[in-house]
Amino acid sequence: MSVPVQASEAADYAIEVEDLAIRYHGKPALSDVTLQAPRHEIFGIIGPANSGKTSFLRAINRMDLMTAGMEVSGSVRVEGRDVRGWRNPYALRRRIGVVFPLPVGLPLSIYDNVALSSLLRGTRKKAELDVIVERCLRRAALWDEVKDRLDSLGSLLSGGQQQRLTIARALSQDPSILLLDEFSIAVDPVTTMRIEEVLSELKSEMTIVLVTNLVQQARRLASQTAFFLTGELVEVTETEAMFEGGAKDPRTTAYVEGKFG
């Protein structure tokens, strides 16, 4: 998958990765990844555990800055700019929403969880914040369940609710890119379906990278899907083709058919 990126095409991709390699304390976790994620689409990443999926996400929003021993080489461009060229990496992160596998309801009120990123950016007007909080909670399919108790602690919600709160918080950043790392691990199937619907709507506004261990979830949502295996990018293919026997690599076919992993 080393397609050279032409300058004219660059704008059509939200994320362009070239020769990306990631090591932790010198041990390779991911190597030789080259791919492009088109704007306003859901880009799926599947693969068994330890295949480097999470490391890939961590390189996009520059988590290597705060992870001891994590080294990134190659280039990761977000909206046409190399992420390591940012003078203010915090500003980069504000444009990228991240949802981790396990829900993280911050020990703040539900309201403050969602209002936090706006507060950090200096929005102080209650009316504005109210609008943001309600909009984001509604989009994360949580509003109806919590609208009467916005003052209670976000960390006390149930697992599935906390994950939706996490998503609402990521949306409140108004990101241009949303990275989801196995978001459904701690969420029940019904809630998962509701969130999936939300994601389908969201792609009109942002590019979504969906790392998932549920191959069917990638099939339902992603337009293109990358298959990672033990630190290697096996292939990137149109999702439908990948699941209809059109995968380029027999390992991919075996994985999506559930023969291993």
Partner 1 sequence: MPELAQAADRRDAAWWIDRMVQILVLAGGLSAIVFIAGIFVFITREGAGFVFDRFDFREFFGSPRWTPTSSHNPTYGALALIAGTASVTGLAMVVSVPFSLGAAIYIGEFATGRVRETLKVLVELLAAIPSVVWGFIGLSIMNPLIIRVFDVPVGLNVLNAGVILGLMAAPIMTTIAEDALKAVPDTYREAAEAMGATRWQVTFRVVLPAARNGLVAATLLGVGRGFGETMAVLMASGHSINLPTSPFDSVRALTATIAAELGETAAGSDHYGALFALGIFLFLVTFAINFAADVFVRGGQRKHRRRGRRPAASANP
Q: How far is the CB of 39 from partner 1 (least distance, A)?
A: 8
Q: Please tell me the total number of residues recorded for the chain in this structure.
A: 261
Applying CB under 8 A, among 65, 119, 131, 254 the residue interacting with partner 1 is 65
Applying CB under 8 A, among 1, 5, 10, 186 the residue interacting with partner 1 is 10
Q: How far is the CB of 232 from partner 1 (least distance, A)?
A: 22
Q: How far is the CB of 96 from partner 1 (least distance, A)?
A: 11
3-state secondary structure the chain: CCCCCCHHHHCCEEEEEEEEEEEECCEEEEEEEEEEEECCCEEEEECCCCCCHHHHHHHHCCHHHHCCCEEEEEEEEECCEEHHHCCCHHHHHHCEEEECCCCCCCCCEHHHHHHHHHHHCCCCCHHHHHHHHHHHHHHCCCHHHHCCCCCCEHHHCCHHHHHHHHHHHHHHCCCCEEEEECHHHHCCHHHHHHHHHHHHHHCCCCEEEEECCCHHHHHHHCCEEEEEECCEEEEEEEHHHHHCCCCCCHHHHHHHCCCCC
For residues 89 and 198, which CB has a smaller minimum distance to partner 1 in the complex? 89
Q: How far is the CB of 69 from partner 1 (least distance, A)?
A: 5
Q: How far is the CB of 184 from partner 1 (least distance, A)?
A: 20
Q: Which stretch binds partner 1 (CB under 8 A): 61-69, 109-117, 165-173, 182-190?
A: 61-69
Q: How far is the CB of 80 from partner 1 (least distance, A)?
A: 4
For residues 70 and 193, which CB has a smaller minimum distance to partner 1 in the complex? 70
159 touches partner 1 (CB under 8 A): no
125 touches partner 1 (CB under 8 A): no
| Residue carrying the six token digits 């829900």 | 103
For residues 3 and 65, which CB has a smaller minimum distance to partner 1 in the complex? 65
* x/- map, 66-105, partner 1, by CB under 8 A: xxxxx-------xxxx--xxxxxxxxx-xx----------
Q: Which stretch binds partner 1 (CB under 8 A): 10-18, 107-115, 162-170, 229-237?
A: 10-18
- The whole-angstrom separation of Cα 244 and Cα 177 is 28
25 touches partner 1 (CB under 8 A): yes
| Sign of the torsion angle spanned by Cα atoms 222, 187, 15, 175 | positive
The footprint of partner 1 (CB under 8 A) covers 10-11, 14, 24-25, 39, 65-70, 78-81, 84-92, 94-95, 120-122
